[in-house]
Structure 1
Amino acid sequence: MSRATLIVNPRAGSRRDLATLIPAMIRVLEAQGIVAGFVETTGPNTAASLAANALSEGADTVVACGGDGTVHEVLQGVVGTSAALGVVPIGTANALARNLGLSPDPRRAISQLAGASIARIPVGRVEYSASNDGSELQSRCFAVLAGAGPDGALVYSLLAGKAALGRTAYYAHAARLFMTRPFPPFRISYRSTGSDSWQEDRAVNAMCARVGDLGGLFSKLTHGSSLYSTSLRLSYLRPPGRLSLPSWFVSGQLGIHSRNPWLRTIEVDEFRCEPIGEAANVHAQVDGEWIGRLPISVRLIPDALSFLIPTSVPSR
């Protein structure tokens, strides 16, 4: 890292100390001989273009300062380039930073990044429809999680009030939604790692995580997932949701996922989720951002991103 730009989400985590925090972080980098500056996002979906602009102006490193949503946006502007991406947690949800072993204190986290190593990693890519008739396809890359079903419905339900919910209220809302709302089944098709043939099943939930600990209520659901994996770890629940969803959380907390008759966890190269019937209304999300309704398709992009990894974290 020789020239870094911090992309700062001023609304992340409702912090009130950014006026002193950001200059302090800049000074940490400059003390290591790194030329550093920062820009602030001005609203949703602005971080990707800010990251791309920083690279065009000569930055070799972009640091996303915010939560997982901010990282997700910055990722879109960096993936596929030779530039490195770093993360400083100042948001509400910081699953990626936590799995990287970064300190929750932004000042300590930026110090960790100043001496970090660079690892080239694969990232997931979701293709989805941006129109009701499915004619307008878009795609996003992700570093934490993609899912369809209850987690997509949760993100959709919180679109208007996400910033107002504290962590406890968020988990309470999630638990209430998962335990009380009926979720329609959808078709899931997947190609297992190394296989040329597709398998098909019915599911009420599908989740593909790139980190092993989502935190809080979801901390035990994605054990075994890794940023470095060269395959996608797909977990899905068979219907009925009123039984499979509660059992998923219980078996996760007890560490007995393998005994859950409704849960399947497999390594795949790609998978698709499609609605069953015209009335199906199944939401999808990526890195905690709502992207619409099914269908979606997901695959892995190899050697896609240079990532700053603290030296205290094993590279594999």
Structure 2
Amino acid sequence: MFASLPSNFQVLIIYNPAAGQSSDLKSTLDRVANLWRDRGWQVQIAATTAPGDATTKAQQAAQAGYHAVIAAGGDGTVNEVMNGLIGTTTALGTLPLGTVNIWAREMGLSMDMLKAAESMSKSELTQIDVGIAGNRYFLLMAGIGFDAAVTASISSVEKKRLGAIAYVKQAIQLAWNFRGVSPKLRIDGKRVRGKILMVIIGNSQLYGGVVKFTAHATIDDGLLDVCVIKGQGMLSAPRRLISIFARHYNRDPLVQYFQARQIEIRGKRGKVLPVQVDGDYLGKTPMNFRVVPNSLWIMVPPNADRSLWQAARG
């Protein structure tokens, strides 16, 4: 169910001064704030100063009664803000300012901040599910295995300097020697066997701004979608990607697709696998993942991908 924005809408913009490659950031955000003020909104702006600061500021905004907190940054900033809003009535919004901006793309926003702000001014409000990995909430996805190894090996300097190319460069370097492992993987209690290269646990659909590993995911169904990619090594991965692009999950024996409420993964004989959430390295297995239904309010602009909602699927 979607609701209109309340009158006298109060928002806090939290921005990451180090996100993306934007110049004149503060002046652009001031223009955004003035655009929204012209529509009767009350707008404040706050910069982050350290990792985790966005979560603290979002929690404080929710306690102070703000209607929404706008994450101006990449998906890492969106994740931090979201972690401060879980279980509150304060909604999450976003302005794209990062390397990939997956959530902004899911919401149909322009990568131009002023155009995105114009779209955000026409938003509605609704509640959605999120996932949790260990004790960290995620909005988009969690990755275990190869993609998390890539994420863990990229520095913030590389991300800022090269953008998305940094991920491609590092993926090519790691692919030659990366080998599948046989962890203890249970999806809603069912054991999944075989050598695994990567597991993607999706709350939403889009991955890396390009491919939909979890194309059947909706953000209001009380489930997480899980794509398991198997193989001896990453040299076989292009074949798996073709199956995923074509959404032929059931035709490729090395790609398995599930919908579940809980996922448990543990390494065998002391082996561990890296884990990332929403594009940021989180840690290593063992780790449990589960869905947290109807736990986050979000702002939904007019051009958001409606296939993200169960009702739109018919």
**TM-score, with normalisation over the residues of structure 1?**
0.88
Q: Which amino acid aligns with 1:277?
A: R
Mapped to 2, the partners of 1:235 and 1:255 lie a distance apart of 11
Mapped to 1, the partners of 2:39 and 2:175 lie a distance apart of 47
Deviation of 1:243 (Å): 5.8
What's the secondary structure of 2:69's corresponding residue? strand
Q: Which amino acid aligns with 1:297?
A: N
Is the CA contact (8 Å cut-off) linking 2:71 and 2:77 kept in structure 1?
A: yes
Q: Which amino acid aligns with 2:179?
A: P
Mapped to 2, the partners of 1:209 and 1:25 lie a distance apart of 31
Counterpart of 1:178? 175
Counterpart of 1:232? 224
Mapped to 2, the partners of 1:230 and 1:253 lie a distance apart of 25
Mapped to 2, the partners of 1:147 and 1:9 lie a distance apart of 24
Deviation of 1:80 (Å): 0.8
Question: Quick one: which of 43, 56, 62 aligns to 1:49?
Answer: 56
Larger deviation, residues 201-210 vs 6-15: 201-210
Q: Which amino acid aligns with 2:296?
A: L
Mapped to 1, the partners of 2:21 and 2:205 lie a distance apart of 27
Counterpart of 1:221? 213
Is the CA contact (8 Å cut-off) linking 1:251 and 1:257 kept in structure 2?
A: yes
Structure 1: give runs of 5+ residues left out of the alignment: 128-138, 192-196
Structure 1 235/255 Cα, relative in aligned 2: closer, same or farther at 3 Å?
closer
| Aligned-pair identity (%) | 28
Mapped to 1, the partners of 2:169 and 2:155 lie a distance apart of 16
Question: Quick one: which of 262, 271, 277 aligns to 2:254?
Answer: 262
Structure 1 segments, 4+ long, off by >6 Å, are: none
> Over residues 22-49 of structure 1, what are the superposed CA-to-partner deviations in whole Å (9 max), with x where a residue is unaligned?
1101011111111001100012221100
Question: Quick one: which of 274, 277, 280 aligns to 2:269?
Answer: 277
Is the CA contact (8 Å cut-off) linking 2:153 and 2:170 kept in structure 1?
A: no
Q: Which amino acid aligns with 1:3?
A: Q
Question: Quick one: which of 12, 36, 40 aligns to 1:33?
Answer: 40
Mapped to 2, the partners of 1:224 and 1:115 lie a distance apart of 27
1:1-316 matches, within 5 Å, as 1=5, 2-127=9-134, 139-159=135-155, 161-191=158-188, 197-202=189-194, 203-215=196-208, 218-242=210-234, 245-278=237-270, 280-313=271-304, 314=306, 316=312
Is the CA contact (8 Å cut-off) linking 2:183 and 2:265 kept in structure 1?
A: yes
What's the secondary structure of 1:78's corresponding residue? coil
Q: Which amino acid aligns with 1:212?
A: Q
Structure 1 301/51 Cα, relative in aligned 2: closer, same or farther at 3 Å?
same
Mapped to 2, the partners of 1:85 and 1:293 lie a distance apart of 28
Mapped to 1, the partners of 2:128 and 2:299 lie a distance apart of 10
Deviation of 1:242 (Å): 4.0
**TM-score, with normalisation over the residues of structure 2?**
0.88
Q: Which amino acid aligns with 2:167?
A: Y
Deviation of 1:64 (Å): 0.4
Is the CA contact (8 Å cut-off) linking 1:237 and 1:244 kept in structure 2?
A: no
Deviation of 1:179 (Å): 4.6
Counterpart of 1:135? none
Deviation of 1:186 (Å): 1.5
What's the secondary structure of 1:248's corresponding residue? helix
Deviation of 1:147 (Å): 1.4
Mapped to 2, the partners of 1:50 and 1:89 lie a distance apart of 19
Deviation of 1:308 (Å): 0.4
Aligned residue pairs: how many? 298
What's the secondary structure of 2:193's corresponding residue? strand
Is the CA contact (8 Å cut-off) linking 1:78 and 1:84 kept in structure 2?
A: yes
Structure 1 182/273 Cα, relative in aligned 2: closer, same or farther at 3 Å?
same
Larger deviation, residues 45-54 vs 199-208: 199-208
